[in-house]
Structure 1
Amino acid sequence: MAGNSRQPGASVTGRALSILGAFDEKHRSLSLSDLAARADLPLATTHRLVAELVQWGALERRSSGEYVIGRRMWDLGHLSSAETGLRQVAEPFLHDLYGATLATVHLAVREGMDVVYLDRLRGNRSVPVVSKVGSHLPLYATGVGKVLLAYAPPEIQRTVLRELAPITRHTIVQPGVLRRQLRQVLDRGYAVTNEEMSLGACSIAVPIRHDEEVVAALGVVVASLKGSEQRLYGALRVAAQSIGRRL
Structure 2
Amino acid sequence: MGSADGSSPQGILDRALGVLGCFTEDEPALTAAELSERTGLPASTMHRLIGALLRHGLMVRVPDHRYAVGPRLWELGELSPMSLRLRERAIPHLVRLYEATGENVHLAVLDGAEPERATVLYVGRITGRLSIPTISRAGGRGPLHATGVGRALLATRDEIWLERYLRVPRERETAHTITGEAELRAELERTRARGYASTREEMTLGNVSVAVALPQVDGLPPAAIGLVVHLNRADERRLSALVVQSAREIHAAIRQA
* Secondary structure at the counterpart of residue 145 of structure 2: helix
Structure 1 residue 15 and structure 2 residue 16: aligned?
A: no
Structure 1 residue 117 and structure 2 residue 119: aligned?
A: no
The residue aligned with 2:230 is: 223
**Structure 1 residues 159 and 71: CA distance shift in structure 2, 3 A:** farther
Instruction: Tell me if the contact between 2:155 and 2:192 (Cα under 8 Å) persists in the aligned partners.
Output: yes
**Structure 1 residues 99 and 178: CA distance shift in structure 2, 3 A:** same
Question: What is the CA RMSD across the aligned residues, in angstroms?
Answer: 3.8
Deviation at 1:123, TM superposition (A): 4.0
Deviation at 1:138, TM superposition (A): 1.2
* Secondary structure at the counterpart of residue 98 of structure 1: helix
User: What is the TM-score of this pair, normalised by structure 1?
Assistant: 0.76
Q: What is the distance in 1 between the residues matched to 2:191 and 2:251?
A: 18
Q: What is the distance in 2 between the residues matched to 1:43 and 1:157?
A: 44
The residue aligned with 1:136 is: 141
**Structure 1 residues 55 and 174: CA distance shift in structure 2, 3 A:** farther
Instruction: Tell me if the contact between 1:106 and 1:120 (Cα under 8 Å) persists in the aligned partners.
Output: yes
Deviation at 1:72, TM superposition (A): 5.2
Instruction: Tell me if the contact between 2:2 and 2:11 (Cα under 8 Å) persists in the aligned partners.
Output: no
Instruction: Tell me if the contact between 1:162 and 1:175 (Cα under 8 Å) persists in the aligned partners.
Output: no
* Secondary structure at the counterpart of residue 203 of structure 2: coil
1:66-215 aligned within 5 A? 73-112=73-112, 113-152=118-157, 154-155=160-161, 158-159=164-165, 162-211=168-217, 215=222
Please tell me the residue identity of whatever aligns with 1:235.
L
Q: What is the distance in 2 between the residues matched to 1:196 and 1:55?
A: 44
Q: What is the distance in 2 between the residues matched to 1:160 and 1:184?
A: 18
* Secondary structure at the counterpart of residue 221 of structure 1: strand
* Secondary structure at the counterpart of residue 92 of structure 2: helix
Q: What is the distance in 1 between the residues matched to 2:75 and 2:206?
A: 31
**Structure 1 residues 173 and 161: CA distance shift in structure 2, 3 A:** farther
Instruction: Tell me if the contact between 1:143 and 1:219 (Cα under 8 Å) persists in the aligned partners.
Output: yes
The residue aligned with 1:64 is: none
Deviation at 1:76, TM superposition (A): 2.4
Deviation at 1:114, TM superposition (A): 1.4
Percent identity between matched residues is: 35
Please tell me the residue identity of whatever aligns with 1:198.
T
- Structure 1 gaps, min length 5: 62-66
Please tell me the residue identity of whatever aligns with 1:100.
A
Instruction: Tell me if the contact between 2:176 and 2:202 (Cα under 8 Å) persists in the aligned partners.
Output: yes
**Structure 1 residues 187 and 43: CA distance shift in structure 2, 3 A:** farther
Instruction: Tell me if the contact between 1:203 and 1:225 (Cα under 8 Å) persists in the aligned partners.
Output: no
Structure 1 residue 234 and structure 2 residue 230: aligned?
A: no
- Structure 2 gaps, min length 5: 28-33, 62-66, 113-117
Q: Deviations over 1:32-81 (max 9, x none)?
A: 476469xxxx88646632564377564699xxxxx997775355222213
Please tell me the residue identity of whatever aligns with 1:171.
T
Deviation at 1:159, TM superposition (A): 3.1
Q: How many residues are matched?
A: 237
Instruction: Tell me if the contact between 1:118 and 1:134 (Cα under 8 Å) persists in the aligned partners.
Output: yes
Q: What is the distance in 2 between the residues matched to 1:144 and 1:203?
A: 8
Q: What is the distance in 2 between the residues matched to 1:170 and 1:176?
A: 15
Instruction: Tell me if the contact between 2:6 and 2:12 (Cα under 8 Å) persists in the aligned partners.
Output: no
Please tell me the residue identity of whatever aligns with 2:110.
R
